[in-house]
Amino acid sequence: MADVEQLQQDYLAQIASADLAGLEEIRIAALGKQGAISGLLKTLGQMSAEERQEQGPRINGAREAVTAAITTRKDALEGAALNARLAAEAIDLTLPPAASAQGSVHPVSQVMDELAEIFADLGFAVATGPEIESGWYNFTALNMPETHPARAMHDTFYFPDRNAQGEEMLLRTHTSPVQIRTMMAQKPPIRIIAPGRTYRSDSDATHTPMFHQVEGLVIDKGITMAHLKWTLETFVKAFFERDDIVLRLRPSYFPFTEPSAEVDVGFTVEKGKRVIGGDPTGPNGGWMEILGSGMVNRKVIEHCGLDPDVWQGFAFGCGIDRLAMLKYGMDDLRAFFDGDLRWLKHYGFSSLDVPTLSGGVGA
């Protein structure tokens, strides 16, 4: 048994330089069922009492020393491996997290945000109102008499019941009632846009029974058509993000504005597609109507309790869905409301792409 100390020292030397795989081999060779130290422990049963008393502590001491050395070395190697892994896989917690696919922003919602951003920069506030309106707010206050075609059943969704005042109730056909409510509740000067859902009995590739509209209203002293034209030019250039856009105002008729004008925007054909901007008088150019506008009719101002000799204003309106189609290249309005995830994935926007004038409203 004189070699017990030497055997212990040999194993300790091997352990000090072994890797994790080598440690397992040493453990089996020394402490396994057929291991050298395990074999020495088995010989204790063949010794006399005096020999066991002498050799037992030496053999057990060797077993404990080798076991402790293996444990210490294994802990050190595993700790070093963990530290190396942590150093190699360091995470910069100051970076924003990767965006996960959680759906997308609908093009209509995106365009609404773009409109709000543009007009906020021009000093406009966003106004809202009820989608169920009375005939007075939707028609009469807007200088549309009982015999006006828009009040016919085939153009408007009416409710069978009337309100407490006996007025007919309907789904608003435009957001113009928001203008009336604002003029009646707020003292001039007024600068608002009124985006929202509207309803008309119509359905084809470019019309749906429910659609989105935005209208604008300015009421102040000394307002002229020049103010209207500048506002529309600034808006259209900012929205389509082009400076070479040309507008054309054509005389028209709306009962709530006088004079009234249809607004056309110049476009060019590029690679077989119509693109807003460029020279509309060139060989590949043309004009496209995008909105209606005009100076607010004196009768509308009077209906709202204002003096038309003191206060003047202009109004305009256009379809939000149509603006989205023109800007982002969609050709069928009905797809906006089909709920097709493939369409939404293709045309949708990331929730992190918030439109700004500095970063681009079409981000």
Mean pLDDT of 230-240: 94
Percent of the chain with pLDDT over 70: 93
Per-residue pLDDT for 341 more than 60? yes
Q: For residues 214 and 115, is the Cβ–Cβ distance under 8 A?
A: yes
Q: Which two tokens stand for residue 99?
A: 């965006």
What CA–CA distance (Å, rounded) separates 262 from 234?
17
Query: Which residues belong to the annotated binding site?
Result: 258
Per-residue pLDDT for 58 more than 90? no
Task: Name the residue with higher pLDDT: 308 or 36.
Answer: 308
| pTM, rounded to two decimals | 0.68
Mean pLDDT of 345-354: 78
- Provide the pLDDT for residue 363: 47
Mean pLDDT of 90-104: 76
- Provide the pLDDT for residue 359: 55
Task: Name the residue with higher pLDDT: 250 or 57.
Answer: 250
Question: Beta strand 125-126 with 190-199: parallel, antiparallel or unpaired?
Answer: parallel
Per-residue pLDDT for 185 more than 60? yes
Q: Which two tokens stand for residue 260?
A: 């009234």
Helical spans, DSSP H, in the chain = 4-17, 20-31, 36-43, 49-88, 107-121, 135-138, 176-185, 225-240, 298-303, 320-328, 341-347
What CA–CA distance (Å, rounded) separates 228 from 104?
35
Query: Which residues belong to the annotated binding site for Mg(2+)?
Result: 258
- Provide the pLDDT for residue 259: 95
- Provide the pLDDT for residue 152: 74
- Provide the pLDDT for residue 29: 86
What CA–CA distance (Å, rounded) separates 292 from 249?
9
Q: Collect all residues with Cβ–Cβ distance below 8 Å to 218 and sequence separation of at least 6.
A: 189, 190, 191, 227, 228, 231, 313, 314, 315
- Provide the pLDDT for residue 217: 97
- Provide the pLDDT for residue 343: 85
Q: What is the pLDDT of residues 202-230, one digit of tens each?
A: 766 667 788 899 999 999 999 999 999 99
**pLDDT tier at 176 (50, 70, 90 boundaries)?**
very high
Task: Name the residue with higher pLDDT: 313 or 144.
Answer: 313
Per-residue pLDDT for 151 more than 80? no
**pLDDT tier at 317 (50, 70, 90 boundaries)?**
very high
DSSP state at residue 168: E
- Provide the pLDDT for residue 84: 87
Q: What is the pLDDT of residues 262-302, one digit of tens each?
A: 999 999 998 888 889 999 998 989 999 999 999 999 999 99
